A = this chain, B = another copy of it.
Amino acid sequence: MNHPVQSSVLNQALPESLLSALLSIFDERLSTTHAVREYHGRDESSYDPMLPDAVVFAQSTDEVAATVKLCHAHGVPVIPYGAGTSLEGHVLALQGGVTIDLSQMNQMVAVHAEDLTATAQAGVTRKQLNRELKDSGLFFPIDPGADASLGGMAATRASGTNAVRYGTMRENTLALTVVTADGRIIKTGTRARKSSAGYDLTRVFVGSEGTLGIITEVTVKLYPQPEAISAAVCSFPSTSDAVNCVIQTIQMGVPIARVEFLDENGVKAINAHDKLNLPEQPLLLFEFHGSEQGVQEQAELVQSIAAEHSAVGFEWATRPEDRSRLWTARHNAYFALLQMRPGARSISTDCCVPISRLAECILDTKADCEKNEMVYSIIGHVGDGNFHVLMMVDPHDAADVAKAEGVNARMVSRALAMDGTCTGEHGVGLHKMDFLVQEHGDNAIDMMRALKHAFDPKNIMNPGKIIRW
């Protein structure tokens, strides 16, 4: 998929003095090979790669600061790169420049189990963090499908299946270490669980997608592993039955840990990919956390709500391996769907609406997909009113891409008309810049632009993302 901006092949190479200064810091950890640049010029979106001029592999906040300082002096763009799992073109080097790969910043800084906090370098992934916590009795709940880096998750305000119970990166980030656009190092907060001390710099950087500064360390909240966990799956005759079951569950205040919706297309795909035999109907996947008694109570209540909405085949998965099998399948949905149309790439979009409008928003969006004969699935973290549309397109077929983009644009307009947002958890990147304006209006966008200009006056921090200069 092409994007109507300057292609990276047109970029001037980096100034020689910048390159040699970077080489003296990074030596073999600097690369200008085409393969490395191409790898870093793409994400999981359907955009064609846009290559940076060089990639450095940083191992410390000081190295990031030194790199940014040099790029700042030369007016050269800097793009942070975590795990490359973003979905809206976040890491593409629109104007070339230097990509800072943070994956080697993968050290834990501290686990304070007694305070339920952990501090990690930005390249630590969520799964790595949970491995590190394994024997502590604690866990970190935020789980976008991919094994994203904590820095990237903070930068895109990620959430995922557990957000309905535990919140998103917005609620779970206590503090960040950030390198500012002129290469200074700041700490945005402390390990205190709440604070009224001045402007909320943590929340300014959470969700800023590398456009205001580079996150190099992340301090997050942890949670005690629940005494008991159980999962359940059930099927519904229609999408609206499934969604209405969720709405009632939330409105009754059941403290459900996860509730995921898959439409019949999604179920079909994971059946094929993960060798499951789920009924190929709209499906909900639940998880309950709490005491033994509490989990049982929640589960019984939800089962009775589901029955009122014509659920069939309510099945329990209490053994860890059964739960894990279901959730692995859910997290593989993206890859499972790609296999439904070989050679395709996914245009994956999301939106989030007040929960009372969720059924209507999903149904209208499904109808639009059907009308346009998309190979698609709708999958959602429906407890939050958040759902995804994954459309398998041939990225080189302009008509196919245009159809998908039409579905996307109409979904966003629909969500905004319902007082929802153009993206619940994917972020803006390149792909939703116009939708952001549509959502917030010119005056609020002016405030965002004022913030960008104040924090990055030379426009070198991941330029061309979120808002136009």
Are A439 and B184 in touch, CB under 8 angstroms? no
A33 part of interface (Cβ distance < 8 Å): no
A385 vs chain B, min Cβ distance (A): 6
Number of residues of chain A lying within 8 A (CB) of chain B: 93
A92 vs chain B, min Cβ distance (A): 17
Q: Could you say which of A425, A443, A444 has the most chain B C-beta atoms within 10 Å of its C-beta? A: A444
Are A197 and B440 in touch, CB under 8 angstroms? yes
A14 part of interface (Cβ distance < 8 Å): no
Are A455 and B447 in touch, CB under 8 angstroms? yes
- Given the complex of chains A and B, what is the CA–CA distance between A187 and B438 in angstroms? 12
Known contacts A115-B354, A186-B441, A440-B198, A191 near B419 by CB under 8 Å: yes
Q: Could you say which of A159, A198, A420, A450 has the most chain B C-beta atoms within 10 Å of its C-beta? A: A198
Our pick among B156, B194, B426, B447 for the contact of A186 (Cβ within 8 Å) is B447
A252 part of interface (Cβ distance < 8 Å): yes
Q: Could you say how many copies of this chain the assembly holds?
A: 2
Are B195 and A421 in touch, CB under 8 angstroms? yes
Q: Could you say which of A167, A186, A441 has the most chain B C-beta atoms within 10 Å of its C-beta? A: A186
- Given the complex of chains A and B, what is the CA–CA distance between A115 and B415 in angstroms? 15
Are B192 and A448 in touch, CB under 8 angstroms? no
A180 part of interface (Cβ distance < 8 Å): yes
Our pick among B117, B352, B423, B424 for the contact of A354 (Cβ within 8 Å) is B117
Q: Which residues from chain B contact A206 at a C-beta distance below 8 Å?
A: 200
Are A385 and B454 in touch, CB under 8 angstroms? no
Which residues between 250 and 286 of chain A lie within 8 Å of chain B, taking CB atoms?
Answer: 250-253, 255
Which residues between 149 and 167 of chain A lie within 8 Å of chain B, taking CB atoms?
Answer: 156-159, 163, 167
Q: Which residues from chain B contact A167 at a C-beta distance below 8 Å?
A: 171
Q: Which residues from chain B contact A117 at a C-beta distance below 8 Å?
A: 354
Which of A230-238, A291-299, A305-313 contacts its partner? A291-299
Considering only CB atoms, which chain B residue lies closest to A445 in the complex? Answer: B198
A167 vs chain B, min Cβ distance (A): 7
Inter-chain pairs besides A197-B435, A197-B440, A199-B448, 16 sampled, C-beta below 8 Å:
A116-B251, A158-B196, A163-B194, A186-B441, A192-B385, A195-B352, A195-B423, A195-B424, A196-B207, A196-B425, A196-B428, A197-B428, A199-B452, A224-B251, A226-B253, A294-B297
- List 5 contacting pairs A-B, 8 Å CB cutoff, sorted by A: A192-B421, A194-B352, A194-B386, A294-B297, A450-B455
